[in-house]
């Protein structure tokens, strides 16, 4: 039976079935959440914790609570925050990137990680965890003191464990997720400083920097924020810093621009969102096998044809927001097309949740559905974002 992917009921049901893959299996009663799951839900590593997963599970439970207030979800938000503050947080204010057997094994201070600490605490504040506001302020101040480059209106990426030396690498990804987190901080606190900074990040990356790369957002830059076309060129499949244009990041920026547009509307936001989405889908959609490929080169040839779950999810979310913002039916067509591909290939209808990565011709690489980093925050978050857009449209009527 054909699915109505645009239906709010469908989206809510899909969130619930995805959540049920993790809950309550992911809960570690000793603290935090288990982060490594096989296709069938079996946990294959109970000792390793990654900052990104620790924060994204908090997001998942907070969003579930906002959708359906449930005391146990609230308690799990607090459970996750406790682990964040007692296990990940270091004496210098940073947060350990990796914990193994209860001990911090990688204390590199990643801006990307702090973005998710902000995001987790912003949604926690939305559900009523009052002390999350203090953490937001502390992390904001750490970012101001150590990471923010006022002359560039962007953040640097990485410090060593003691905040003594900053890496020369500059990247768009941490700035994009900070934009996302700051928008959520603004919604949670109504403090204009968060919105102003989110605006600066969005405009700098999607307008100023994109102008250096034919209207698309390149991933990698040198210390002076000039494009580094060679960074990881030999490694287009690098997990966090792949070479090439990332179609999923173009569409994710499109989504963020449309969220920004709700709070501070300017014509360039919708225009830029359209351009990023249109270019990404033009060059990355796989006409033979379906789905959106992971990366394409500056000459627009595909450099990584794999299909990642988050790329499809961010893209259907962006398509829906574009359809609503522009009234252009082609974006609903893209929404349906991306969903149909995902429904057919990326979603596990037996056990729940999305497969993480498929080959270009849609075969699984392994039975590891959800290693650290993947909590289906992207897929559930994309559904929540479409539902939010529906809700805001209803309020206008």
The domain that contains 162 carries what CATH number?
1.50.10.10
At 286 the pLDDT is 98
Give a yes or no: residue 2 inside a domain.
no
| Long-range contacts (CB closer than 8 Å, 24 or more residues apart) made by 280-287 | 280/216, 280/245, 280/247, 280/248, 280/250, 280/251, 280/315, 281/247, 281/251, 281/315, 281/334, 283/245, 283/247, 284/247, 286/360
Active site residue 88: no
Q: How far apart are CA 25 and CA 358, in angstroms?
A: 24
Domain membership of residue 3 (yes or no) is no
Domain that holds residue 49: 8-396
Which of 14, 79, 220, 249 is an active site residue? Answer: 249
In a domain, 351, yes or no: yes
Task: Judge whether 332 lies within some domain.
Answer: yes
pLDDT digits (tens, 9 = 90+) for 153-202: 999 999 999 999 999 999 999 999 999 999 999 999 999 999 999 999 99
Answer for the pair 273, 337: CB distance below 8 angstroms, yes or no: no
Mean pLDDT of 127-150: 98
CA distance 277 to 246: 11
Residue 310 in any domain: the answer is yes
CA dist 204 and 153 (Å) reads 7
pLDDT above 70 (res 267): yes
Q: What would the pLDDT profile of 12-40 be if each residue is shown by its tens digit?
A: 999 999 999 999 999 999 999 999 999 99
Q: 50, 88, 345, 378: which is the annotated catalytic residue?
A: 378
Closest CA to 288 of 218, 232, 216, 362: 362
1 lies in a domain?
no
The per-residue pLDDT for 1 is 66
The answer on pLDDT for 2 being more than 90 is no
DSSP H/E element including 24? none
Could you confirm whether 249 is annotated as catalytic?
yes
Residue 238: pLDDT band by 50, 70, 90 thresholds? Answer: confident
The long-range contacts involving 197-202, CB below 8 angstroms and separated by at least 24 positions, are 198/260, 199/260, 199/264, 200/153, 201/153, 201/154, 201/155, 201/175, 201/176, 202/253, 202/256, 202/257, 202/260, 202/269
Residue 221 in this model has a pLDDT that exceeds 80? yes
Please indicate, yes or no, if residue 56 is contained in any of the structural domains: yes
User: Of the given ranges (132-141, 144-153, 235-244, 366-375), which has the lowest mean pLDDT?
Assistant: 235-244
Verify cis geometry, omega within 30 degrees of 0, for the bond prior to 24. yes
* % the chain with pLDDT above 90: 97
Does 74 reside within a domain? yes
**Please, what is the average pLDDT of the chain?**
97
3-state secondary structure of 358: strand
Reply yes or no on whether the pLDDT at 397 is more than 90: no
- Mean pLDDT score, 62-71: 97
First to last CA, the chain: 32
Task: Quickly state the pLDDT bin for 135 (edges 50, 70, 90).
Answer: very high
The CA-based dihedral angle spanning residues 241, 39, 8, 190, taken in that order and rounded to the nearest 10 degrees:
-40
**Confidence class of residue 325 from pLDDT cuts 50, 70 and 90?**
very high
Distance, in Å, from the CA atom of 184 to the CA atom of 199, rounded to the nearest integer, reads 13
Name the domain count of the chain.
1
Q: How far is CA 137 from CA 64, 117, 147, in A?
A: 24, 11, 15
């Amino acid at each position: 039976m054909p699915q109505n992917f645009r239906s709010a009921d469908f989206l809510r049901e899909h969130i619930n079935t995805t959540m049920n893959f993790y809950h309550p299996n992911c809960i570690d009663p000793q603290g935090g959440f288990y982060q490594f799951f096989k296709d069938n839900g079996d946990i294959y590593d109970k000792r390793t914790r990654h900052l990104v997963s620790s924060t994204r599970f908090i997001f998942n439970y907070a969003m579930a609570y906002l959708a359906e207030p449930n005391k146990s979800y609230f308690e799990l938000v607090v459970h996750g925050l406790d682990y964040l503050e007692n296990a990940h947080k270091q004496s210098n204010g940073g947060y350990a990137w990796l914990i193994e057997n209860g001990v911090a094994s990688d204390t590199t201070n990643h801006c990307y990680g702090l973005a998710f600490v902000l995001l987790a605490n912003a949604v926690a504040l939305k559900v009523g965890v009052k002390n999350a506001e203090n953490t937001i302020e502390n992390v904001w101040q750490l970012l101001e003191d150590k990471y923010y480059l006022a002359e560039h209106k962007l953040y640097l990426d990485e410090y060593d464990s003691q905040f003594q030396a900053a890496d020369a690498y500059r990247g768009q990804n941490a700035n994009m997720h900070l934009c996302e987190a700051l928008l959520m901080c603004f919604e949670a606190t109504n403090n204009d400083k968060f919105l102003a900074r989110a605006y600066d990040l969005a405009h700098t990356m999607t307008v100023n920097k994109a102008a250096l790369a034919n209207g698309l957002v390149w991933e990698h830059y040198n210390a002076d924020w000039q494009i580094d076309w060679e960074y990881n060129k030999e490694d287009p499949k690098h997990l966090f810093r792949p070479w090439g244009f990332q179609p999923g990041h173009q569409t994710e920026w499109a989504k963020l621009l449309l969220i920004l547009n709700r709070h501070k509307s300017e014509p360039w936001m919708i225009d830029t969102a359209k351009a990023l989405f249109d270019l990404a889908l033009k060059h990355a959609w796989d006409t033979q096998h379906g789905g959106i490929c992971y990366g394409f080169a500056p000459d627009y040839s595909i450099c990584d044809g794999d299909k990642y779950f988050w790329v499809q999810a961010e893209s259907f979310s962006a398509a829906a927001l574009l359809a609503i913002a522009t009234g252009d039916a082609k974006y609903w067509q893209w929404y349906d097309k991306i969903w149909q591909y995902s429904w057919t290939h990326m979603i596990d209808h037996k056990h729940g949740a999305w497969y993480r990565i498929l080959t270009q011709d849609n075969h699984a690489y392994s039975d590891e559905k959800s290693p650290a980093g993947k909590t289906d925050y992207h897929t559930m978050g994309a559904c929540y974002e479409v539902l939010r857009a529906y809700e805001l449209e209803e309020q206008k009527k």
